[in-house]
Amino acid sequence: MKAYTLIDITETKQYRSADKKLIHQQANFMTFFQTLCLSHNFLYDVSPEKIEMSEKELKEIGFGTNYKGKHNVWCITLSVDEGRTFPELESVEKDFDLVPVISGLDETIEINNNVFRTTDKKAKNIVLVRQTSHNQA
């Protein structure tokens, strides 16, 4: 499974630092990962990568219609333990809807309510995509 979000979920591994931004980015990553693992144990090998996507790419992936122009997107490839069943994407997305996040980091969208949005067609800011390769949900 691959997750894409317009929320800054940079994994900084900083829990105590003079730089509050690093702590807030890590807090968002931990919120993301803990929410993801509410009903299944996911694994990842590589921290989220920040890329820039065009409006067309955002639309193709399934982000909300409010997002115009180019934006920063964090993406991460996830897997589950070998032999485990893969969750339905809809149930995982439901877990994320309205979970609080910290804004004002490196995201390029305006976040009006400081939450992950999965059900609002205009404000959807996290998308999960099933991949077909072995051991990936």
- pLDDT tens for each residue of 68-107: 999 999 999 999 877 777 789 999 999 999 999 999 999 9
Q: Residue 132 pLDDT > 70, yes or no?
A: no
**What's the rounded mean pLDDT across residues 4-29?**
95
Q: Residue 121 pLDDT > 70, yes or no?
A: yes
Q: What does the pLDDT read at residue 131?
A: 78
Q: Residue 136 pLDDT > 80, yes or no?
A: no
* Residues spanned by the domain of 22: 2-129
Answer yes or no: is 60 within a domain.
Answer: yes
- Rounded Cα–Cα distance for residues 91 and 112 (Å): 24
Contacts of 127 (CB under 8 A, 6+ apart): 3, 4, 5, 61, 62, 63
Answer yes or no: is 103 within a domain.
Answer: yes
Answer yes or no: is 104 within a domain.
Answer: yes
Per the CB < 8 A criterion, the answer to whether 4 and 49 are in contact is: no
Answer yes or no: is 135 within a domain.
Answer: no
- Per the document, the length of the chain is 137
Q: Provide the whole-model pTM.
A: 0.92
Answer yes or no: is 137 within a domain.
Answer: no
Answer yes or no: is 136 within a domain.
Answer: no
Q: What does the pLDDT read at residue 137?
A: 46
**What's the rounded mean pLDDT across residues 64-69?**
97
Q: What does the pLDDT read at residue 133?
A: 54
Q: Residue 119 pLDDT > 90, yes or no?
A: yes
Q: What is the mean pLDDT of the chain?
A: 92
Answer yes or no: is 69 within a domain.
Answer: yes
Q: What does the pLDDT read at residue 17?
A: 81
Answer yes or no: is 96 within a domain.
Answer: yes
Q: How many structural domains are present in the chain? A: 1
